Structure 1
Amino acid sequence: MFTRAVSRLSRKRPPSEINDSDGKPGSSQQTLKGTSRWTTSLENLLEDPEGVKRFREFLKKEFSEENVLFWLACEEFKKMQDKKQMQEKAKEIYMTFLSSKASCQVNVEGQSRLNETILEEPHPLMFQKLQDQIFNLMKYDSYSRFLKSDIFLKHKRAEEQEENSSEAQSVAKRASRIYNT
């Protein structure tokens, strides 16, 4: 009887509105956290500060950390409004990642490299083509290896252990409330 009532309720409401026994929303793509969310896309990984930290750690071991650093610098650059700040950041990005003398040179197609003269009139999307190249390089090369790496797998196990521990504590608290009333 109870199962049929729950079944009817869940048919009437979207899954995102159905709560589990803790009163928290049911699991869906939007409520995935941590490593589960990272596995759905590189975009989701890059939106999570902890994901970026772990991905950087992995890329550092692969000697390609400059890729994610360049991508992050471009994201920051696109959000800038002040022209003077944009000029400074554009020059910094160029000197750090794109110049032939760059300290952390990224591997982009030669014809796509920017000329220093373009740095005088920066615009938010001036690095977009290069950023897309690096994103695709990470997405189709590094990202899949990251998901199989020890760094990712250890973090995932730790996250699962923490989750299982908190679920066990939650069950114990509910049980003690039931039996102590």
Structure 2
Amino acid sequence: MPKLFSSKSRFYDLEDKEEKQIKKGNEKKGVIQCLQMQTQTDHQLPASFQFVTEEPTLEKVLSEKCFIDAFRAFLRSEFSDENIEFWLACQDYKEARSPTELSSKAKEIYNEFVDPHALKEINIDCHIRETIEMALQEPDFSCFDEAQKHIYSVMEKDSWPRFLKSDVYLNLVHKSQTEDGNKKGQEYWWHDA
């Protein structure tokens, strides 16, 4: 029979592991609740997509509503959904049809995301903020481009890798496999059919 050794440090390691497991379980519950809220809207996967083994990209996620909703639910669970909301608002901003609409949307975006007192303030440096403030005097379609690129980069480098390991993403993949009849256990993503 092997000898069992115990030490004070080993005991604390076990306590740390238990605390981490409890914390991870609580985080998982929050993600699952977000996923449940997301699936209540019951978005169907686009018929023009089929799932194949390939590397998913943030660009593809941001091109389809059902995937945006899953990513948004994940970001909400991490308290960083202002990033996707800002990115989407910038996309909508570029669809403005008149100078009046452009000016109105620019002010809304600034007040909601860029103003230092905004409830959903995005994390940008003072140079980008000043550039936007100057551009607001005569807003054009590129008014928020620098900030939007920055936020995209933040999501891609920070949130995206965690999203790929999240229950939200794994459930979406599982749902797609079930709908497509693919084998379980393989990682799938989509491409245009």
Structure 2 length as normaliser, TM-score? 0.64
Equivalent of residue 100 in structure 2, options 69, 84, 96: 84
Q: Deviations over 1:66-102 (max 9, x none)?
A: 0000001111111213000011100000000000111
CA distance change for structure 1 residues 102 and 35 in 2, over 3 Å: closer, same or farther? Answer: farther
The equivalent residue for 1:162 is 179
* Residues matched between the structures, number: 135
By percentage of residues, which structure has more helix? 1
Larger Rg computed on CA atoms = 1
Q: Does 1:136 align with 2:137?
A: no
Equivalent of residue 74 in structure 1, options 83, 90, 104: 90
The equivalent residue for 1:152 is 169
Supply the distance in 2 between the matched residues of 1:50 and 1:38 (Cα, whole angstroms): 19
Supply the distance in 2 between the matched residues of 1:37 and 1:92 (Cα, whole angstroms): 41
Supply the distance in 2 between the matched residues of 1:98 and 1:36 (Cα, whole angstroms): 39
Aligned residue runs from structure 1 range 24-39, under 5 A: 33=49, 39=55
By percentage of residues, which structure has more strand? 2
Structure 1 unaligned runs (5+)? 1-30, 166-181
CA distance change for structure 1 residues 130 and 37 in 2, over 3 Å: closer, same or farther? Answer: farther
Supply the distance in 2 between the matched residues of 1:163 and 1:34 (Cα, whole angstroms): 8
Quick one: which amino acid aligns to residue 49 of structure 1?
K
Structure 1 length as normaliser, TM-score? 0.68
Q: 4+ residue stretches of structure 1 with deviation over 2 A?
A: 31-40, 114-118
The equivalent residue for 2:72 is 56
What RMSD, in angstroms, separates the aligned Cα atoms of the two structures? 2.3
Report if the CA contact (8 A) 1:39-1:147 is conserved.
no
Structure 2 unaligned runs (5+)? 1-46, 183-193
